[in-house]
Amino acid sequence: MSSFVTMALGLLEFAPVIAKLVGGNESGDVAERIVETAQSLTGTNDINHMRNTLRNSPEAQLQFQREIDKLMVEDRANARHRDTSLFQSGRRNFRGDIMVLSALLGLLGCLAALTIFKMSLSGEVIGIVSTIAGIFGSCLKDAYAFEFGSSRGSKEKESHLIDLLTGALKQSSK
């Protein structure tokens, strides 16, 4: 594992999404960008000093999280571009299709089991199967979010909240 990947994983507590970003094919490049972002915000190359600076500076922590969110958006855009390129060349993304189909079948299987065996299942089993159905439903939600993107209203609300938090942080530091 490269030193950049190790350092990037050391910053997980400030942006858990780093684990998703560093897990891909270009993990070394992404990890390097994450570490460079932390270095520019903290002014140090030492991972322990970076972490302490981010812990003690809510503004730096917020800025770091914003930069990581931008990387996540770029990563998702690259994946969408790959899917578009595949479609335009007359090919399909079978991996994505299999993932969505598996989530759909899992959800339908759980719902069928709850419907068919409702009378003979204990409350604990119903709870477990319902939880698993929720996980499959969440997978489908993520697939739709990937395919169609976040709603504009959601993005505006998120931007507004970030602005409010930044203003509150500035007020509290005065």
Domain positions in the chain: 1-90, 93-174
| For the ranges 1-15, 108-122, 140-154, the one whose mean pLDDT is highest | 108-122
pLDDT value for 49? 86
Closest CA to 50 of 20, 12, 17: 12
Q: pLDDT digits over 151-166, tens only?
A: 555 555 566 556 655 6
pLDDT value for 107? 94
- pLDDT over 60 (residue 169): no
Mean pLDDT of 117-132: 90
pLDDT value for 1? 45
Closest CA to 5 of 13, 16, 26: 26
**What's the burial of 63, exposed, middle or buried (CB within 10 Å: 0-12/13-18/19+)?**
middle
Q: Is 165 helix (H, G, I), strand (E, B) or coil?
A: helix
Q: pLDDT digits over 52-65, tens only?
A: 888 888 888 888 88
Q: pLDDT digits over 6-34, tens only?
A: 777 677 666 666 655 665 555 566 777 88
Tell me how many degrees the CA angle 6-10-14 measures, rounded to the nearest 5: 140
**Residue found by looking up tokens 């571009």 in the block:** 81
Give the Cα separation of 5 and 72 in Å (integer): 16
